[in-house]
Structure formats: C-alpha cells, structure tokens
Amino acid sequence: MMEKLEGFLSSKLLPLSQKLQQNKVLAALMEGFIRTSPITLGIALITIVGNFPIPGWIDYLTKIGIYSHVEAITNGATGVFSLYVVYSLAFSYAKQLGTNERNASIISLASFVMLMPQTVATMVMQDGKAVDSTVSALRLDFLGGQGLFIGMIVALVVTQFYAFLSKKNIVLKLPDSVPPMVTQSLAPVFVVTIIFVCVFILRVLFGLTKSGSIFQFFIDVINAPVNTLVASPLSIIIIMELLAVLWFFGIHNAVLQGPLGAISMTMVVSNIAAFQKGEALPYLIPSVIYMGMYAAGFMGFVTFFMIRCRSAKMKQLGKLSFIPSIFNITEPLMFGMPIILNPLFFIPQVFTQLIAGFVTWGLTTTILPISLNPTMSLLPWTTPTFVKMPFSGGVNYTILMIICMVIGIVMWYPFIKIADKKEYELELQAETKKEEKTLDEVITEEIQA
C-alpha cells in the first residue's frame, strides 16, 4: 500500500514540485533558508542545555548567573534570525537574477531595518514618580520570528527592484583608475537612493495607520480573526492548523503569540485551579486536542527516516537535527530541508495536525477518555512529547499520543522517501559530472604532454 502511494506521489507530485522549484523566487527561498541552517543547528546544544526539562534547572542556572548568558546566545541567533534570513535570501535571489549579490543583500538588510519601529515605550522615574517615556531601540520580536515574513518580502522586492534599476544603467561613472572594489561600492549610489526613497514613502504610509508600522500592521491583520476565538475544541484545531499553514509560508508562530498565548494561558490557569479543587477541568477537551496535534507534529520520527535515507544531504541533516527535534527544536528541519515553501512537503506540513486534531477529538469524547494532570503543562517547552504526555495523562493519554504520532509517520514517510529519491538522483548527477570533468582534465593533460 505504501509503495503504491509512493509511486503515485512520485509520478504526479514530484514533477509538479520540480517544475515549481525552477521558479527563481522559490529556488532563492530554498537556498536562502538552507544557508541559515548552520545558525539553527549551531544554537541547538546551548538551547537544549539551557532549557533542559528538569524541575528547577532554569532556576539553578539563573541563581548562578548563567541563564542570562544562555538567553543572550539564543537571542544572538534566533532572536535576530530575520536579519540572517533577509541577507541570505537577498543574496540567493540576486544570484538567480544575475545581479550583484553583496549589494542586493546589504541594501535589503538596510531597508528592513529602516522599516522597523525604532523606539520602545518604557517608564522612567521623575521626582519619585513613574512616567511614560520612549527610548531609541529595536525590538527583538520584530528582528526575530515576528519579522520573518516581512523580512522575506523585503529581501525579494528590494533585490528585484535593485536588479531592475541596475539594468537601466543608472550608475555613477568612475574613472578606470579607481579600484574595482570602490567602483562596485559607489556605482549604484543612484539606484540605492531611489530604493531608500521608496522605503521612506512606505514607512510614512504605514506610519499613518493605527498600527504605526508595516510589522505591526501585518501582525494586527493576522491576529484580528484569531482574537475572536475562545478556548473550544474547534478553535484549538483552527489555531493549530493556522499555525501549520502560516509556518509553511515562512510566517513564524511568534506572529500569533498574542492571541494564542491568551487562549493557552486561559486553559492552563483554569484547568490547574479546578484540578487543585478536585473539580472537573473546564478545558479538558481543548487541552487534549492541543497536545494530540502537538504529538502529530513531533519531528523526531522525520529525522529518524532521514538518517536511513540514501542521499548524503538527507542523511546528514537527519543526524544533525535528530537531538534538537527530540527536544521540540524544529527550525533546523524547517530551514534546512527546507520544509518552508517547499511544494513537496505542503501536504504533510498542512494536513497532518488537522487530521490528528479531529481524530483526537473523536477518540477523547467516545472510547478513549482522558484524565489530565494540568500541572504538567508547566514543564519547559523543551520537554520531549513522549515524556510530557505520559506523565500528564497516564495510559490513555499515552495511547492517544502513539495514535497521533502514527498519523504523523504515515503522513510524512512517503514524502521523505520522494525527497530522498530526488536528492539522491541530483547527487548521482553531480558525481557523474565531477567524474566526467576529471576525465576531461586527464585527457587534456595527456594531449598537452
């Protein structure tokens, strides 16, 4: 059955995926994300150790003054991740367009920062009273996950605009005696001026809105429909599915942290209060559905499949991502494969948790009742799913976790196999070309001799 499914997907989906990936924008997105994977992989060990799921561990690190440095290292990598994406994506797209990669990258990065709010509201003490004030600063949330999608758009649009204007030969003419490095830096000054004027106009226009910036405007638009939802089984499924869809398109979960945080905290606090009083949990079903969908999204089995792949890329990425994925760090896979904006992985990324959500809802309300200990939800986010769920709900919760993980395995396995087949063929082609090139060099040397 699985072989037939793989065959069908290989014959129908793979050609479509390959055709779509020939698009310059998609090709640039994939290369740009892959180039950022050393950051997400490099930070994994410190993130895991700094947030190790042992009660009191973070408190201990805080007490000895280490945890602040863990946060600093994490923020230096993921807290400003959008900056790396903007530069890397602009570089890759400029290469696709045949324009100057370094100029496009640095101009895109500058444009991204120019569009960002550059003051932060705070409070200061004056005459013994706290008064509102502002300080000049960039917010980490816009530099990190919440700015990721805007950063992608800025990188693509600015690079495209730069390539277009460069072809119009709007350049500063310099004598031949000027060093090439200086010429390349100063020649596009008129092009850059035009781009920055457009950025200025865009910033002013969004400044006139209630949001105040393009970043906050985007977040407000995304959050608006979610803010109307309450903690119910259907709303949890909708929110989790929305997260999966947005993540596929490169919109980080942090964009929805406001409404999602409000809903999740409502469930957690209310459930714990009822649990301590010995009462029925008011948000039992929504909480179970949330964790069931979370279990289906567990990426540890994906990395396990990858380790067993034939292609060197999939195998090595699987090995490097295995430990991080166990502790719920999925960025190495999302950016390294990449899964984001990869047509081949649209179906498992978007539909796996949706199916698991409705299956969980059906089982929990019929043949698999769950008794939940809501205090386990306070465990660190790095706690492995296969540890958290059994401790939270015993045997039935463990059975539910296994069912949801099986759904994830069934959904992801055939697509991993197809991706492996594609990568393996590309590696064979590259090896053949390398051998042919080596043979040509040998023949040339013999002729010259």
Nearest Cα to 411, choosing from 350, 352, 338?
A: 352
Residue 279, phi then psi, degrees to nearest 5: -100, 165
Identify whether 338 is preceded by a cis peptide bond (ω within 30 of 0). Answer: yes
Distance CA 8, CA 385 (A): 32
Note the pLDDT of residue 115.
94
Say if CB 246 and CB 212 are below 8 A apart. no
Say if CB 130 and CB 123 are below 8 A apart. yes
Note the pLDDT of residue 350.
92
Note the pLDDT of residue 20.
64
Note the pLDDT of residue 406.
94
3-state secondary structure of 242: helix
Residue 213, phi then psi, degrees to nearest 5: -160, 160
Q: Which two tokens stand for residue 369?
A: 């009742």
Note the pLDDT of residue 10.
64
Residues counted in the chain: 449
Report how far apart, in Å, the C-alpha atoms of 145 and of each of 80, 159, 403 are: 8, 21, 31
Give pairs for 405-410: CB < 8 Å, separation 24+: 405/295, 405/296, 405/298, 405/301, 407/296, 407/352, 407/355, 407/356, 407/359, 408/295, 408/296, 408/297, 408/298, 408/301, 408/302, 408/352, 408/356, 409/301
Q: Which two tokens stand for residue 284?
A: 């039992």
Nearest Cα to 222, choosing from 248, 254, 266?
A: 254
Distance CA 300, CA 324 (A): 8
Neighbour tally for 305: CB within 10 Å: 18
Tell me whether residue 179 is exposed, middle or buried, using C-beta atoms within 10 angstroms of its C-beta: 0 to 12, 13 to 18, 19 or more: exposed
3-state secondary structure of 245: helix
Cα angle 287, 291, 294; round to 5: 140
Q: Residue-wise pLDDT tens for the chain (449 aa)?
A: 556 666 666 666 667 666 666 778 888 888 888 888 888 888 888 888 888 877 788 888 898 999 888 888 888 887 888 899 999 999 999 999 999 899 899 999 999 999 998 887 777 667 667 677 777 888 877 888 788 889 999 999 999 999 998 888 766 665 666 666 656 666 677 888 899 999 999 999 999 999 889 988 988 888 777 766 777 888 889 888 988 888 888 887 777 766 677 777 778 888 888 888 888 888 899 999 999 999 999 998 889 999 999 998 899 999 989 999 999 888 888 888 888 888 889 999 999 999 999 999 999 999 999 988 888 887 777 888 898 899 888 899 999 999 999 999 999 998 998 889 888 888 888 888 776 666 666 566 556 55
Q: What's the half-sphere exposure (Cβ side, CA atoms, 13 Å) at 383? A: 21
Q: Which two tokens stand for residue 21?
A: 């990936």
